[in-house]
Amino acid sequence: MNISIEKCTDLAHEVGGTIGDCILELVSEIQDLREQVANKRYCFPKLIGSSEVAEILGIDRRNLHHKRKTKGFPEPIMELKSGPLWDEETIRAYRDESDDLRRKVDS
């Protein structure tokens, strides 16, 4: 079944009431999502592997397994056969928070 947005809107007005309002709300959300995709405003997070994580954190990749045991270290988003993947923004936020904490301790 292939129903257009316009047809759904028309049906929502015909039905009216709570059900019609619900249909109109769903149609509006669909239109917003379509617009975001069309304008490329919706992006998937940039995923990075162990080498990139180590580079961002300024450590040797071979020491990353130790760093992963550190309290508060972000869990990978997924584990592949080739290794774990993290959201780059999460790793950068972790680095920045760690740097801030280190500066407070050193003060």
Summarised one tens digit per residue, pLDDT across range 18-73 is: 999 999 999 999 998 888 888 776 667 899 999 999 999 999 999 999 999 999 99
Write the CA distances from 67 to 39, 64, 85, 90, 94, integer angstroms: 39, 5, 15, 15, 12
What value does the mean pLDDT take over residues 76-96?
96
CATH number of the domain enclosing 76: 1.10.1660
- CA torsion sign for 44, 50, 70, 105 is negative
Domain that holds residue 61: 47-106
Same-domain pairing of 102 and 51: yes
User: Model's pTM, two decimal places?
Assistant: 0.59
Identify the pLDDT of residue 107. Answer: 66
CA distance 64 to 76: 12
My answer on whether 94 and 56 are in the same domain is yes
